[in-house]
Chains A and B, each alone.
Chain A
Amino acid sequence: MQNLKVQIVDQLNLKDIKPEDIGDDQPLFVEGLGLDSIDALELIVLLQQHYGIKLTKAEEGPEVFRSVTSMAKYITANKK
């Protein structure tokens, strides 16, 4: 999960945030991280680039990207 946090910070250019500052279950899309719709799309690219997972239904996004924990679970279940 620490690795995933590093990837998230890197992919989204979150320069003001350290990976260890992101809580495992912290909601990703609230004020604190300042993430927006483009970030959500970049996380889809992250899944594809690093884990070979293609998320093609935008509706699945909110659940998958709710927190680092939910992302990690999705990756474990779908990793190629």
Chain B
Amino acid sequence: MMSGQFCISAFAGINNERIIRNGGIISDVNATSFDGLMDAAYGSMSLAYPKFHKMDSLSKLGFMTSEYLLMNNSSLETIDKTKVGLVISNKSSSLDTDLKYHNMLMKGIASPAVFVYTLPNILIGEICIRNKFKGESVFFITDTYNISNQVSYINLLLNSGILEACIGGWVELMKDSYKSFLYLVTKGDSGPEKEFKEDNLLKMFNQI
């Protein structure tokens, strides 16, 4: 399959206590802090997924963004879950949680529940556990969001048939500063504005 036959079938992002989904703001979720936003979003979606409360901030951010991304999206229904994967990047890795864990260690507490999240790819694991995705996944650490490299990587996975759908994006969180952007790439043609290419993704990223 040549490139040009993949489309961005959905995107979502969270930034500055605001949730964007496919270009529109989710208006029924309001909060004045990150924690408040996560709780409000969880409540508004009536998720009934208690594991959410045990996640660290980075995983909550990625997980919640993926819930909005995949909400009411039927494109994955007919796709074999071993062919759905994720390619995600960020700058700070799991540093926010690393520091929290370290602070607890200094107080003599080695918390296994916090330690578990001192790796950025655990957020990929959480999304996969939730959705039973079994395809290839990878997490890259880069200074800034390199959309071009990510597009090349995902094109390779789709063109080679390793995946039939892929979630890509940037999930970054460090103390009070956070921004997430996730998009879903599937086969098909939904018009030029949704074609899976760098400039379309950049437009969407800038809407977050």
- A34 proximity list for chain B (CB < 8 A): 50-51
A3 within 8 A of B: no
B156 within 8 A of A: no
A41 within 8 A of B: yes
Interface residues on A, range: 10 to 19
* The residue from A15, A17, A39, A49 contacting B113, defined by CB atoms under 8 A apart: A39
* Residue of chain A at shortest CB distance from B42: A15
Once the chains bind, are A38 and B113 in contact (CB under 8 Å)? yes
Once the chains bind, are B112 and A16 in contact (CB under 8 Å)? no
* The residue from B53, B111, B116 contacting A15, defined by CB atoms under 8 A apart: B53
Query: Closest CB-CB distance, A35 to chain B, in whole Å?
Result: 9
Residues of B contacting A: mostly: helix
Complex Cα–Cα for A42 and B117 (A): 14
Once the chains bind, are A41 and B50 in contact (CB under 8 Å)? no
- A39 proximity list for chain B (CB < 8 A): 113
Once the chains bind, are A45 and B112 in contact (CB under 8 Å)? yes
* Residue of chain B at shortest CB distance from A49: B109
A6 within 8 A of B: no
A14 within 8 A of B: yes
B110 within 8 A of A: yes
Query: Closest CB-CB distance, B34 to chain A, in whole Å?
Result: 16
* The residue from A13, A17, A45 contacting B54, defined by CB atoms under 8 A apart: A13
Complex Cα–Cα for A3 and B50 (A): 22
A12 within 8 A of B: yes
- B48 proximity list for chain A (CB < 8 A): 16
**B41-77 Cβ-contact flags toward A at 8 Å (1 or 0):** 0000000101101100000000000000000000000
* Residue of chain B at shortest CB distance from A17: B50
Instruction: List residues of chain A with CB under 8 Å of any chain B CB.
Output: 12-17, 34, 38-39, 41-42, 45, 49
Instruction: Please list 15 pairs of residues, one from A and one from B, whose beta carbons are closer than 8 Å in the complex, sorted by A's number.
Output: A12-B54, A13-B53, A13-B54, A13-B113, A15-B50, A17-B50, A34-B50, A38-B54, A39-B113, A41-B112, A42-B112, A42-B113, A45-B110, A45-B111, A49-B109
Give me the 4 closest cross-chain CB pairs, A-B, nearest first: A41-B112, A15-B53, A13-B53, A34-B50
